[in-house]
Amino acid sequence: MIAFVIRRLLQSVLVMLTVAFISFALFRYVGDPVLIMLGQDFTQAQYDTLVSELGLDQPFYLQFAKFIVAALQGEFGISYRLARPVAQLIMERLPATLELSLVAAILALCIGVPMGVYTGLHRESWLSRFFLTISLIGVSLPTFLIGILLILIFAVQFGVLPSFGRGDVVKFGTWSSGFLTTSGLKALVLPAVTLSLFQLTLIMRLVRSEMLEVLRTDYIKFARARGLTNRAVHFGHALKNTLVPVITITGLQIGGIIAFAIVTETVFQWPGMGLLFIQSVNNADVPVMAAYLLLVGFFFVAINLVVDLLYYVVDPRLRVDRGAASGH
């Protein structure tokens, strides 16, 4: 167990270092930060002074080390576009993205799992077929089109929900929340539904296929032979055993939500990190891009690590398998 945890931790650190390296290379070598800071008129002497002040004449590995130390302290430099510290910009945008992602994840789970169980248990019913057809369309519909369609129906046609922004927010220190005002909640509906739809279909299909698989196993047959009620077999035995892969995939899907939040935030002009990132890409705002890359990389590595460790804790069979098959 300890060996596994250590190996997994080392791997995470390695991935994080790679991400940090890409981020650093971007920050340091894309565009000349000195030229950007000096503006139009400067002498060679001014240029050289600033280079040595910023430490850009130091060897490469020292610069990289300094970059990592600064990043660990939350120092990501100044945004070229907005002329404000990147860390501050990101902290302002973080609550919007996290609240949106959280609501979308809850929606996807609370609707996706029951739909999956139902379609798994009643394979032939028309409602299952209907769900499956919908889910196929859901997979084929790009997130941004879902958003546009929802805007067209609910904002343009009926005018019941706002089509952009977060509505009114309440401030708690550095955290701004849209959960506590009516306009904030209303503004949340369309983006959250848009963002959750893809994950919802994915979770539903996963739960369905896992249910079908488990229902074929011997212990289910045995449970039925013992005369247990359908309810006990389906929920006590079958559903319980599908949960391990579902937890894993759902955990990994949180990452997917962060990625698709970029698209959703662009459609709805939701003032989160994703929108900030896209605006930075379009304006070559390198420090923000580098910081976003690092932050998202960190989220992913952390989520994966937690999911892997959870998997290991939840499923006792793995402890034996991993030991025997560690050569793989």
Q: Which residues bind another protein (CB under 8 A)?
A: 15, 26, 30-31, 136-137, 139-145, 148-149, 151-152, 156, 163, 252, 255-256, 258-260, 262-263, 266, 277-278, 281-282, 284, 286, 289, 293, 296, 300, 304
Q: How far apart are CA 90 and CA 291, in angstroms?
A: 9
Rounded alpha-carbon distances, angstroms, from residue 147 to 183, 192, 269: 19, 10, 11
CB of residue 189 to another protein, shortest distance in Å: 18
Shortest Å, Cβ 101 to another protein: 13
10 neighbors 277 (Cβ within 8 angstroms): no
Would you say 242 or 248 has its CB closer to another protein? 248
Among the listed residues 54, 18, 1, the one whose alpha carbon sits nearest the alpha carbon of residue 301: 18
Phi, psi values for residue 319, rounded to 5°: -60, -35
Residue 279: closest CA among 294, 266, 261, 297: 266
Nearer to another protein, 169 or 263 (CB): 263
**Closer by beta carbon to another protein, 87 or else 151:** 151
- Helix, strand and coil in the chain, % to nearest 5: 75, 0, 20
Backbone φ and ψ for 85, nearest 5 degrees, come out as -60, 135
Measured over the CA atoms of residue 264, residue 267, residue 271 and residue 273, the dihedral's sign is: positive
Structure tokens of 114? 């029951």
Provide the minimum distance between the beta carbon of 215 and another protein in the complex, in angstroms, as a whole number.
16
| Nearest partner of 71 among 16, 30, 31, judged by Cα | 16
228 neighbors 238 (Cβ within 8 angstroms): no
CB 245 within 8 A of CB 81: no
**How far apart are CB 125 and another protein at their closest, in Å?**
19
Structure tokens at 327: 């050569």
Task: Tell me whether residue 69 or residue 156 sits nearer to another protein (CB atom).
Answer: 156
Among residues 228 and 318, whose Cβ is nearest to another protein? 318
Indicate the residue among 26 and 318 with the shorter CB distance to another protein: 26
Cβ 199 to another protein shortest distance, Å:
11
Query: Considering the complex, what minimum distance in angstroms separates the CB of residue 248 from another protein?
Result: 12
Rank residues 190 and 262 by Cβ distance to another protein and give the closer one. 262
> Of 101 and 143, which CB lies nearer to another protein in the complex structure?
143
The least distance separating another protein from the CB of residue 145, rounded to whole angstroms, comes to 5
Residues 207/242, Cβ–Cβ less than 8 Å:
yes
Rounded-to-10 torsion of CA 73, 77, 82, 84: 50
Report in angstroms how near the CB of residue 279 gets to another protein at its nearest.
10
How far is it, in rounded angstroms, from Cα 181 to Cα 162?
A: 14
